[in-house]
Every structure is written in C-alpha cells, then in structure tokens.
Structure 1
Amino acid sequence: MFSKTCEYALRALIYITQQTKDGGRIGIKDIAAGIDSPEYFIAKILQDLSRKGFVQSAKGPTGGFYLDNISLNRSLAEIVKEMDGDKIFSGCALGLKECSETHPCPVHNEFKHIRNNLQNMLNDMKIGDFVDQLDAQEAFLKR
C-alpha cells in the first residue's frame, strides 16, 4: 500500500519513539537492526526526515536520533503525505487520471469510502501512540 521508503520511515519513527522514551538517543545501526531495514537506506530516510523536522538528531558520543514533543504528536498521515504524497488519499484505485465524482471509474464509489477511512485512521494515529503496545508486546515492528 505504501512505498518501501514510507514503510521504513513509519517503522523507524515509531521505533525511535519507543527506544528513546526515557530521554535517550539511538543510532542508525540500532534502528536498522530494530526494524529489519538496510542501514544505508534507513540512514538516507532519516536524514531526509531530520531535514524536514520529523525527527531530531544530535552528533557526538551521546548522539543519535530522537523525537521532540512536536514530532511525537505528528499523525501517521503527515508522514505518509511527506514520503508518498497524497495520492493514496485522493487518487483513483485504478490509476485513472480523470476519475472523479462526475466521471467515476468502475470502483470509484466503493473505493472513496476506503480511501476516506484510511485517511481518517492515519490522521487519528500519532507517532507517540504506539509505545505502550510495543512495550507490552501487543504489536511488533520486526518479526
């Protein structure tokens, strides 16, 4: 559903949140291992997210990545839009350029409900919302 880049970005941000909840920071190697992603790929993604203010980083011996309160309250929808654009929330299920209410594709009327539900769900979910589930092992980022 999401691009690999978007999937890794979401997983990384959630993982960083869990691992730094007590005020620490976490490095690229640990993030890559924790979410089962290629280190080089996640480094590029996090560099981009850091530049755009979705994650914070610090250099030095106690450096690494962490999220501030503003980042913790960002919705998953914001991350998806930043990484993949908003086509998933507004595009045609069949990829048609001219699909609309007045010129619908064969699945338009059914898909618009799914699309709207997905957007509402991702808007309601904040990056910081998953720590308790992960800590209680009710949800997982890696298997």
Structure 2
Amino acid sequence: MMLSNSSKYALKAVLYLALHTDEYNKMMVKDISERINVPKAYIAKLLQELSKRKIISSTKGPKGGFYLNPSNRNETIIQIIEVIDGKKKMESCLLGLEDCNEEKPCPIHRLISPSRSKMIALLESKTINDLATDLELNKAFLPV
C-alpha cells in the first residue's frame, strides 16, 4: 500500500494547519501552498474536500481561511486518506491486479497482507492531534 501524492499533500497540509491554526488564526490556501511547497490549485482542491467532509474547518470572508478546531484535531489519519484516495486504495493490490484477494492472491499478497493490516490499524488509531503533538515535542519533523 502506497499513499498517493494527493494523500501525502493533504496530510502535510493538515499537520501544518494543526501546528499553526485555530478558530482565531486561520490560514489562506496561498500561504499553506507556499509553506508545504504544493501548487495552490492542487492543495485548494484537497482542502476543500477535507472541509466538506468536516475533517478540517473553513470560513469565508476577509478573516476567513482554513483551520483546525478541537473536534478536527480528533479526526484519525485514516479518515484523511480515505477522503482523498477512497477506502479501496488502502486495500488495493500492490501489483495493481483487480482480482487480487485472499481467495485469489497475487504473488506478493500474503507477504504484504499482515503488514498492511497493521498499518491500517495504526492509521485508524492515530489522530491529527497525536501527530501534531509529536511534531511539537520534536519527536517527528515536517520540513516546512
């Protein structure tokens, strides 16, 4: 299982928002785009989808922008990936075979399946806040 570029960009943007925004400090797409080095139109589309699905928050107007509220910070990492890539992407065959499954596995299916299950479980258990806290405590880094 590999994350798409879209999911990677969305995760970077959400974590950047977690570190730099709240209900009183919102951020415009242009600023997010520059900080995480993703084209403005591309990240705008991803952020709009995440906002529509209530993973992040946004407001319009002169003091508008994207931000995370306390509820958003409790969303899981898997939810971001599923909004951007869909649930099937996480379970898709690494060789790209449509019919690959437990009953009809590709050559690497059984090799990857246990690791994939563990990774999905971890992504289901970790919240945006968990990862943001690791960044704040310098247990992880996000070059921005």
Q: TM-score normalised by the shorter chain: which range applies?
A: 0.7 to 0.9
Q: Shift of residue 111 of structure 1?
A: 1.0
Which residue is 1:139 aligned to? 140
- State how many pairs are aligned: 143
TM-score by length of 2: 0.86
In 1, are the aligned partners of 2:46 and 2:84 still within 8 Å (CA)?
Answer: no
Alignment of 1:1-143 (within 5 A): 1-21=2-22, 23-142=24-143
Q: Which runs of 5 or more structure 1 residues have no equivalent in the other structure?
A: none
Q: How far apart are the structure 1 equivalents of 2:86 and 2:64?
A: 31
Q: CA deviation at 1:66?
A: 1.1
In the TM superposition, what is the alpha-carbon distance from 1:141 to its structure 2 partner? 2.4
The whole-number CA distance in structure 2 between the counterparts of 1:138 and 1:30 is: 25
Segments of structure 2 that go 5 or more residues without pairing to the other structure are none
Q: Deviations over 1:56-101 (max 9, x none)?
A: 1112332211122332111111111111122343222222222222
- Deviating above 6 A after TM superposition, structure 1's stretches of 4 or more consecutive aligned residues are none
- How much identity, in percent, do the aligned residues show? 36
CA contact (8 A) 1:89 1:116 kept: no
